[in-house]
Amino acid sequence: MTITTRDWALHLGVIAILLAANFLLPEYHRGVFSRVLVLAVFAMGYNLLFGYTGLLSLGHAMFFAAGLYGAGLPLYHLGWSVPVSFGTGLMAGIAVAAVVGVLALRTTGVAFMIVTMMFAQVFYLGTLYFTTWTRGEEGLVLSQAMRSVEFGGWSLNLSDPSTRYMLALALFAVVLLAMLWLVRSPFGRTLVAIRENEERMRMLGYDVFRAKLTAVVVSGVFCAAAGAAYGLLFGYVGSGFASIQYSILPLLWVLLGGAATTLGPLLGTLFMFYIIDYSSGVTSAYLLVVGVTLILLVLFFPKGLLGSVRERWLGWLP
């Protein structure tokens, strides 16, 4: 199946609306959206593995943190430039995902969940142990000066809200269109078929391990890109981003928005951010509100917001 005009229109339309939002949103909400766009990239990376390939990982904080530290450490300690640091963040993501993938994919199901979680815990404890470099939970603050980008006399200030929003949107747009292309490609359908029936794919002659490893690495790269961008745009690199909480959050965002939908991760992340934001302004028991909302969503939208919309009304949604 190829990408239809309808697919292009929907995805480019969403990107255009988000572009306009930079000029329309109040300052506070623009800041929230910047964060959501970067974290939605994290969720999209998670979605590739969980939603499309059917591999439930509990260790994706490790890939996010690999990008975060891969970019943050050379920037902070070695004074490398922002673009080079972003590149090292991506490389760190590829390396960690490839090694973890080769080992963790020897398992399936619950064992895969546990193995990925244990690897992530090792990574997390590593960030706490090597405090000389990481400063543990306190983390590293990347100053505005460190994060300035110079292009022959012209400089880009990543602390500027509009610049930050536009860069977050650029990353989001690239990954969203890459996801659309991926899921509509033969490789994307191979992943869905593996999710549906792995043994059957093997019987048809597919090297399932290789396909799943590729999915882990691509997923890891997307998550690392989000981590690297997060550190560079928001100026903070801390071990909290490697904790188990950040492995569970993308799962929640994807489940809320709709697993195996290209736009679900954005919707889920946005929804979760704002429900916490508004409910915490009303009551200190905001987690109760969040919990009740999640239960209602599971009851009425069991496949997530977009997943249920696709199931009931728009079967063509990618």
Partner 1 sequence: MADVLTLSAVDAYYGEVQVLRGFDLSLAKGEVLCLLGRNGAGKTTALKAIMGLVAVRGGTIMKDGTDLSKLAPHEVPKAGVAYVPQGRRLFSELTVAENLEIGLMARGKGRVTREAVLDLFPVLRERLSQRSGTLSGGEQQMLAMARALCIEPDVLLLDEPTEGLMPSMIARIRETVAGLRERGVSTILVEQRVDAVLSLADRVAFIENGQNRETVDVEKVRADPAYVHRYVGVG
Residues that bind partner 1 (CB under 8 A): 1, 186, 189-190, 192-193, 196-197, 199-208
Dist. CA 256–CA 261, nearest whole Å:
11
Q: Which is nearer to partner 1, 54 or 59 (CB)?
A: 54
Report the nearest approach of partner 1 to the CB of residue 271 (Å): 24
Beta bridge partners of 157: 148
Cα diameter, the chain? 59
Spatial CB neighbours of 25, under 8 Å, sequence gap ≥ 6: 33
Residue 273, exposed/middle/buried by CB under 10 A (0-12, 13-18, 19+)?
A: middle
Report the nearest approach of partner 1 to the CB of residue 145 (Å): 51
Report the nearest approach of partner 1 to the CB of residue 210 (Å): 9
Report the nearest approach of partner 1 to the CB of residue 9 (Å): 20
Report the nearest approach of partner 1 to the CB of residue 256 (Å): 20
Alpha-carbon dihedral sign for residues 308, 290, 55, 65: positive
Q: Which is nearer to partner 1, 90 or 182 (CB)?
A: 182
Beta bridge partners of 236: 141
Q: In degrees rounded to 5, what are phi and psi of residue 94?
A: -60, -45
Dist. CA 239–CA 40, nearest whole Å:
20
Q: Which is nearer to partner 1, 51 or 265 (CB)?
A: 51
